[in-house]
Structure formats: structure tokens, C-alpha cells
Amino acid sequence: MTKILPSILSADFANLERDIKEMESIGVDMFHIDVMDGNFVPNISFGFPVIESIRKITNKTFDVHLMIDNPEYYVEKFCDIGADMVSFHIEATNHADRLLQLIKSKGKKAGIVLNPQTSIENIKYLLPKVDYVLIMTVNPGFGGQTFIFEMLDKIEQLDLIRKENNYNFLIQVDGGINIQTSKLCRDKGVDLLVCGSFLFSSNNKKDTLIELLK
Ligand code: DX5
Ligand code: ZN
């Protein structure tokens, strides 16, 4: 079933509980949580304390997207503080296979993320083991950027490989998702759509959520 995951990067950090509860009230059951380290990406977001705090106020699924170098140092702690799904960038580690195993051994869903310039070929041998693949549809680091349309071809290729091999990973996209790009991505086989600024800036979030899946 196709899902919209609000990215809390676009929430009001002074009112995080209010914004999370509002999303819950309109039917959201998964949250996308962006962790940025100021090295892998040119921005710093938040880390363990924020995730620990919001873990106390909701039981919904936490999908933690690590935009950090050396994810192998931190993955275990993100699992321990309440992530349900953890994804890391293939560009950020030489030990992707080991990391996938570690995340899964903690009973969590393991995802691999591809920056816009990275080909699917780079993760070919990981595809049988991965729970989800996140195709970045903007350059990671900031909310509110424009969707990179060339990524539609990458999504199509990945969906084809999935079908040909009977793989059962999910395909996720992140960045620049609005009503138009959501439809284009879903038509290419995307299962999980992260949506930040478009959803949080909407005056009628409930209707917007419905529109995003129409
Ligand atoms: C970007 C983040 C995204 C971001 C998406 O690096 O990974 O999750 O919040 O925001 P929008 O939907 O505004 O492009
Ligand atoms: Zn993200």
C-alpha cells in the first residue's frame, strides 16, 4: 500500500508535538526523520535527543534517514532509541552489507539511499537483502527543493529489476514531492513518498494528504 511519510524537517521545531499530533489526526502512520551531520551534507538538523523526545509522544513508525558520514558508528544507537526503519547513504560507507545486517539484527527495516548521481548498479548486490531503497529526488540537505525529473528513469529501472528478480524491497522517494510529482512517482512504482514542505505548508493538510495519493 502506497504511503505518504511527512518529513519532520519541515515541522515547527518549537511545536513538534503539536505538529506530530496533527499529522496523526489526519491518518499519518509513518514519520520520516532526517538526521544531517554537516559533513555528508552541507546542513545540520538534529540527532538523538530530539528523536528520543518524540519517541515518547507517538507510537507511529519512525523512518530515520541518516545523511551522515560513517553511519556504522551510529546506526546501532538509532535502532536502540526507537527507529523502526533506518536508511543510510551508499556514498557514505564502505560497509553497506554489514550495516544492512546490523540494522536487521536489531529487528528493524534496513534501507539504502542513493544520491541523484548514484546509479542502481552500485547497489546491485545488496538488492536481495534490502528492505527499502530510497531514491533521492533532490540533492540531500534541505527541504523545499525542486524535484529532479531525471530520477523518474532511475525509479523505473529499479522497479523493473525488482519485478524481474521477484525482489520484495519497497521503493521510497524523498525531495520535491507535491501532487504532480507524487503521481509521476507512483506511476513508476514508488511505494513510500516522503513529503516535507508541500504538506506542512498546506492550509488543509487532510485534503492535501488525500490529493497526494490520488
Ligand atoms: C532532504 C531531506 C528530505 C526533506 C524533503 O535532504 O532528506 O526528507 O525533508 O523535503 P521536501 O519535501 O520539502 O523536498
Ligand atoms: Zn529525508
pLDDT in tens, 148-159: 999 999 999 999
Report the atom number in ligand 1 closest to the C-alpha of 32: 8
pLDDT tier, 67 (very low <50, low <70, confident <90, very high otherwise): very high
The whole-number pLDDT of residue 123 equals 98
Catalytic residue among 19, 34, 37, 131: 34
| Most informative mutation of 37, 113, 197, 205 for ligand 1 (most atoms within 8 A of CB) | 197
**C-alpha span between 160 and 180 (Å, rounded):** 22
Indicate the pTM of the whole model.
0.98
**C-alpha span between 11 and 2 (Å, rounded):** 22
The whole-number pLDDT of residue 168 equals 96
Cβ count near 146 (within 10 Å): 11
The whole-number pLDDT of residue 159 equals 98
**C-alpha span between 62 and 209 (Å, rounded):** 18
**Three-state SS at 8:** helix
Average pLDDT over residues 104-115: 98
Q: What is the pLDDT of residues 172-210, one digit of tens each?
A: 999 999 999 999 999 999 999 999 999 999 999 999 999
Which ligand is the nearest neighbour of the Cα of 197?
Answer: 1
Average pLDDT over residues 137-147: 98
The whole-number pLDDT of residue 47 equals 97
pLDDT tier, 83 (very low <50, low <70, confident <90, very high otherwise): very high
Would you give the distance in Å from CA 163 to the centre of its chain?
22
Regarding the beta carbon of 111 and ligand 1, being less than 6 Å apart is answered no
34 is a catalytic site residue: yes
Q: Who contacts 1 (Cβ-Cβ below 8 Å, separation ≥6)?
A: 191
For atom 12 of ligand 1, the residue with the nearest CA is 196
Regarding the beta carbon of 68 and ligand 1, being less than 6 Å apart is answered no
The whole-number pLDDT of residue 48 equals 98
Q: What is the pLDDT of residues 112-131, one digit of tens each?
A: 999 999 999 999 999 999 99
pLDDT tier, 133 (very low <50, low <70, confident <90, very high otherwise): very high
